[in-house]
Amino acid sequence: MDLSNQSVAADPASLCTVFDEACQYDIRSSLPVLVQTLCKAALSVAMLFVATYLFTSCRFHLTSGHDSRFKGKEPPTLPYWIPYLGNAWSMVTDPHSFYEETLSKRPDNGPVTMRLGPISMYLIFGAENVQAIFRNSRSLSFEHMQLRIAEKVKGLPTSDKAKLGLDDSGSGSVPLNDQRGDERIWHNLHNIYLKNLTERSAVDFLTRKFVVEFAKQIDALPWKQTTTGLYAFLQQYQFNASTITLAGPRILNYGGNPRGKAENQVQFSDTFWEYDAAFMTLMQGMPRFMCRKGWAARDRTLEATKMWLREATEAANHSQDKHADPDWDESFGHRLVRERNAELVKYGISFDGRAAMHMGLIWAINANAVPMTAYILFELARDPALLQRIRAELRAGGVFVGSLTEIDIAALVKLPLLNSVYSECLRLRSSIPISRRLRDDVVIDGYTLKKDSFLLAPSWLSHINEAVWAPRSCSSGPSEKTYNNTPGAQEFWAERFLYLEATKTKIKLGDYCPYGGGSVICPGRFFAKHEILAAVAMVVTRFDLGFEGYTLLDGTTPSQRGPGMEKAECRGIVSLDRDMRVTMRRRDVF
């Protein structure tokens, strides 16, 4: 239609008609062009994805045969659809499904190489291979990953990160290079952990302190009966008790100041859990504008930690007795924190850097122990018969000595059923990312993992391996044991660990590693266990727990299901995505 040749009528109505026609003409004629262009672009992208997948699949199949081992080759690279991004999307959005899918491509547990944007990383499966990682601790650096977490998640200043990165002598007693003495910050910190978290007297002190503080929190509650979210209850009172045990009470005075509210209106625990919810997003390096709430919660938690550290440092400077070395003091809390702070000062870490590191320790203790306690109490609250058996075991075991604030720890850790429930929940509710950077080439399962690359061994698949945890019909197998009708590996079974013990079934470290392994195995594992068992014992002894149903984490919106493991983040004890509503009623204990 040639508009220039149109005879244009003088009246405005006709002008409008012509204009409308012209517009319709343009849209009608240009739409197909636009659609065609978009279709072509979409087709090209789809073809690129398909071609990438075909190429990477062929490469994977050609290089993953058994004969590719022991030839100095790296593990085969997993197929992927999206060039450059590789496996990153599946790995980040749904790690458990991704691991399961990968294992189905490698039924012999052979390692694979993943492409994750600019880096490639080896994924390691199978008990033997995971144990090989633990055995090769000297050739594998844990510190590199620690530094990444410290920078991305804890806000460690870049200058401090660079300074900490200068020490590459490892955390073991024998240095891996010529660095010595005060230059060996990782080794010196490691020794502080060993002294304050693994020696019997230190663990007993920490546990006793926790019990006293938790009792203070829950005995002061002004009600006889209440209906509440059980996880929310622990997120406040257990959190407060273990934070006081570790860092003293003063940090709880600083809650942060979100959205212009008056200072201290928000509890430190609230700010902390908001920060915790953003842990993985921060870790993945999500920019501030895409994760405002998480960044803001991180900033507030860090600010609160700085205020506490400033106050603690001033109090220590004004102390009359500079040489006093108590197990615990009001300012710094446990000796562990005081000694760690002094070591970091000596090494030249800035005030802001130390605050970030302290926040990390407060995270390590709470973000794992509190959810774990919740998982155990959920199992007991939804199964009154199991709860009664645990109460009976606590009574018969003489766990509470005289008063409810004194616990016989040795008796507590011996209770068979409680320990079995603890180990079972730890198995089912943890997803540990054992991640290391290679200092040297290391051979695992016949493949050469190259120096300066990264590896990841997720605990999840080992923890749900049917062959290990529920070998139902092994009566004809080499062990000649009969395991008929044992609940599946993904089901909770309170007696599973009792059963394994009774049948003298040996579980390898590579099959069960909730606390990691090798030279950097979690040094807090003894205290963590004591704290969790003590918290469970204290709650079930003091309160009746009436199960009302599940809710979302807002505490009010009902949910058909309890906490799930679908889409769980691989970061330690899996964060709960549901709470349990319970009616808590004080019991007449004695």
By CB under 6 A, name the binding residues for ligand HEM. 142, 171, 190, 193, 197, 364-365, 368-369, 372, 430, 432, 434, 514-518, 520-524, 527-528, 572-573
Tokens of 69: 């081992």
Smallest gap, in angstroms, from Cβ of residue 514 to ligand HEM? Answer: 5
Residue 316 to residue 320: CA distance in whole angstroms:
9
- Concatenating the DSSP letter of every residue in 419-450 gives HHHHHHHHHHHEE-EEEEEESS-EEETTEEEP
Secondary structure (3-state) at 580: strand
Element (H, E) at 574: none
Smallest gap, in angstroms, from Cβ of residue 121 to ligand HEM? Answer: 15
Element (H, E) at 390: helix 384-396
The letter for the amino acid at 579 is D
Smallest gap, in angstroms, from Cβ of residue 70 to ligand HEM? Answer: 27
Nearest by Cα to 273 from 307, 309, 237, 239: 239
Smallest gap, in angstroms, from Cβ of residue 352 to ligand HEM? Answer: 20
Smallest gap, in angstroms, from Cβ of residue 75 to ligand HEM? Answer: 20
**CB nearer to ligand HEM: pick between 167 and 581:** 167
**CB nearer to ligand HEM: pick between 201 and 484:** 201
Within 8 A by CB and 6+ apart from 438, the residues are 139, 140, 141, 449, 450, 451, 452, 453, 454, 455
Smallest gap, in angstroms, from Cβ of residue 426 to ligand HEM? Answer: 7
**CB nearer to ligand HEM: pick between 297 and 528:** 528
**CB nearer to ligand HEM: pick between 186 and 400:** 186
Smallest gap, in angstroms, from Cβ of residue 473 to ligand HEM? Answer: 32
Nearest by Cα to 304 from 342, 347, 359: 359
**CB nearer to ligand HEM: pick between 229 and 333:** 333
**CB nearer to ligand HEM: pick between 143 and 270:** 143
Tokens of 96: 């458990």
Smallest gap, in angstroms, from Cβ of residue 343 to ligand HEM? Answer: 13
Smallest gap, in angstroms, from Cβ of residue 50 to ligand HEM? Answer: 38
**CB nearer to ligand HEM: pick between 415 and 520:** 520
Contact between 434 and 136 (Cβ < 8 Å): no
**CB nearer to ligand HEM: pick between 296 and 407:** 407
Contact between 474 and 500 (Cβ < 8 Å): no
- Concatenating the DSSP letter of every residue in 269-322 gives HHHHHHHHHTHHHHHTT--GGG-HHHHHHHHHHHHHHHHHHHHHHHHHHT-S-T
CA distances from 150 to 310, 360, 364 (A): 20, 7, 12
Smallest gap, in angstroms, from Cβ of residue 395 to ligand HEM? Answer: 26
CA distances from 363 to 343, 376, 471, 474, 544 (A): 20, 20, 37, 42, 30
CA distances from 348 to 185, 318, 342, 353 (A): 10, 22, 10, 10
Contact between 279 and 371 (Cβ < 8 Å): no
Residue 206 to residue 527: CA distance in whole angstroms:
7
**CB nearer to ligand HEM: pick between 106 and 437:** 437
**CB nearer to ligand HEM: pick between 137 and 486:** 137
Smallest gap, in angstroms, from Cβ of residue 266 to ligand HEM? Answer: 24
φ and ψ of 546, to 5 deg:
-95, 115
**CB nearer to ligand HEM: pick between 296 and 455:** 455
Residue 191, number of CB atoms within 10 A of its CB: 15
- Concatenating the DSSP letter of every residue in 90-137 gives HHHH-HHHHHHHHHHH-TT---EEEEETTEEEEE--SHHHHHHHHHTG
